[in-house]
Amino acid sequence: MGVRWGVALSGVERLDAALRRTAVEVHNFRTPLRRTVDEVARPSIARNFEIGGRPDPWQELSDETIARKGSDRILVDTGQGMRSATARARWTITREQAAYVGSSFPERSWFMELHQRADDFDVAFPARPFAVVQPEDLDAMRGVFASWLDRDVIPRYTLG
């Protein structure tokens, strides 16, 4: 009769279950995506309004526009555009992505009509992009995901 031997590993079932839960958790990025939108993207968009464009500044207003408005501030006089652009409702967040939906601005209809009729006017309407991911935003976004893994995912599934 041959000798039988083996190694008994305690906790294998717990380890297997923990790894399976972790795999499920890291396939659902809704939490870090929400944090990325709230902690990085929306404040970055607000900053673009506050300083008048990044990384390149927006084209300055014409003297006529400044005289008419009584201000040289671009897109921030009433705050409506910035509030609309930074609203959480602008974002669609799923398990896999966060998408900025910017096509339903209240002022969009008249603004688009002006652009479509630009040939009727003796004025150009410069682009003023505000929903732009900045280089420093990428590092902050990575930080949000790293923090999520370190703070929320890994500790939840460690054995011990």
Per domain, the residue ranges of the chain are 12-155
Q: What is the pTM of this model?
A: 0.72
Q: Distances from the Cα of 74 to the Cαs of 12, 47, 103, 112, in angstroms?
A: 62, 13, 20, 18
Residue 96 binned pLDDT confidence (cut-offs 50, 70, 90): confident
pLDDT digits (tens, 9 = 90+) for 39-66: 999 999 999 999 999 989 999 988 988 8
Q: Which of 70-74, 92-96, 125-129, 130-134 is predicted least confidently? A: 125-129
User: Measured between alpha carbons, how far is 120 from 115 in angstroms, rounded to an integer?
Assistant: 10
Residue 120 binned pLDDT confidence (cut-offs 50, 70, 90): low
Average pLDDT over residues 131-140: 90
Residue 80 binned pLDDT confidence (cut-offs 50, 70, 90): confident
Average pLDDT over residues 103-117: 54
With beta carbons less than 8 A apart as the criterion, state whether 128 and 53 touch.
yes
Average pLDDT over residues 4-21: 60
Residue-level pLDDT at 125: 72
Spell out where 5-152 has E strands. 91-93, 98-100
With beta carbons less than 8 A apart as the criterion, state whether 85 and 131 touch.
yes
ω before 106 within 30° of 0 (cis)?
Answer: no
Residue 7 binned pLDDT confidence (cut-offs 50, 70, 90): very low
Average pLDDT over residues 85-99: 90
Strand partners, 91: 100
Q: Is the pLDDT of residue 110 over 80?
A: no
With beta carbons less than 8 A apart as the criterion, state whether 102 and 89 touch.
no
